[in-house]
Amino acid sequence: MITNIETCPQAAAARAKTGAARFYGQTEGRMKMESKVLFLNDQQVRSLLTQRDVLDIVEETFTALGNGMLRHPRKDPMFVDEEGRYNCLLAMPAQLKHKQVAGMKWISMFSHQKPGLPSSFGNFVILNHTDTGAPFALVEATSITLMRTGGGHAVIGAKHLAKKGACKLAVIGCGDEGRRAIGGFLEEFALKELHLCDLSEAAMDRCIAEHSGRIEKIVKCASPREAVKGTDMVLTVTTSRKPLITADMLEPGMTVLGLNAFNDLDGSLADGRFRWILGNKHSDGSQIVDNPRFASAHLSMDNVSGDLGEILTGKIPGRTSEDEVIVFTHMGMGSLDLACALVAYERAMEKGIGQTLIFNG
């Protein structure tokens, strides 16, 4: 149980720097164990991580994937509305072998949320040392999720798959993730044109207000087809269960980045006529290709060219021609959240930020 909560002492930072006590568990007698777990709230996480930091962490983590340094047990959503299967809670466990850390993100994903509430919030990551199993950090992960998804793995996917000089982006879905994603793209691409499409006019207006000073031309579009036309990169980040992007919309040289896989992408995008790249062949193979929800799309691993980890480690090429159309789909990896939370934890220890939760037993 938790017996005490105290402000994170500066001495802990000194211990972290010397490496003398990376494991904070302390045996009392023969059976009792005391573990000190650093808690970071969302505001503290935002003060410790920038979007640029997250992009670098995501790229490093996909490289670790290609080098066999990650482990991802199967993650199965627990739907709390069994009939509609729209709202779920999900455990995303992972191991970062190269960091000697394992852990899990616990996240809510409610496509049919109550009015006024975000589709996902109150998420957190717990980190454990793999040499002892001791927990050492509990990190609120709502902002981590937003930064490392559209603004993280979608951007790194585009960095290695988009054609040279890509500068026109279409964003289908302008909620929090879509808006954050635009900021991530601006870290890697000199965007000149942005096409927005969302059922909510207010959501598009928020994107414009946040990014109008950095992009020459921003257009609100009435349909996904209008938004896609004439762009280099297409990002879908919606809660739709109906395909919004079909094969006939795509133009030579386009890169499609589907964060919700074939919920809002038509199965024709993966029928072999375009190059299809997954984020992670293992986890996306079960979550996307073998997912019964996408049975009507007739997906097959035979049409998958490889994954982003293989591209970053030189096992397969990225884009092979300027006219090639590439479809990138990825449903997220817990390792990305753990890696971001670990950096936030390390910086918090150096700065004396956070609260220490003391667990006995």
CATH of 151-332, one of 1.10.580.10, 3.40.250.10, 2.40.128.20, 3.40.50.720: 3.40.50.720
**Helix, strand, or coil (residue 126):** strand
What's residue 31's pLDDT? 55
What's residue 32's pLDDT? 65
* pLDDT(21) > 50: no
* pLDDT(166) > 90: yes
Superfamily for domain range 2-144+335-360: ornithine cyclodeaminase, domain 1 (3.30.1780.10)
SS (H, E, C) 63-85: HHHHCCCEECCCCCCEECCCCCC
Q: Write down the domain spans for the chain.
A: 2-144+335-360, 151-332
Name the residue with tokens 């919920």: 263
* pLDDT(161) > 80: yes
How many C-beta atoms lie closer than 10 Å to residue 63's C-beta? Answer: 17
> Positive or negative, the Cα torsion across 286, 287, 293, 296?
negative
Distance (Å, whole) CA 310 – CA 167: 25
Distance (Å, whole) CA 312 – CA 160: 8
What's residue 30's pLDDT? 52
* pLDDT(77) > 70: yes
Q: State mean pLDDT over 92-100.
A: 97
Q: State mean pLDDT over 292-309.
A: 94
Q: What percent of the chain has pLDDT over 90?
A: 77
pLDDT band at 6 (very low <50, low <70, confident <90, very high): very low
Q: State mean pLDDT over 77-101.
A: 89
Q: pLDDT for 35-76, tens place per residue? A: 899 999 999 999 999 999 999 999 999 999 999 999 999 888
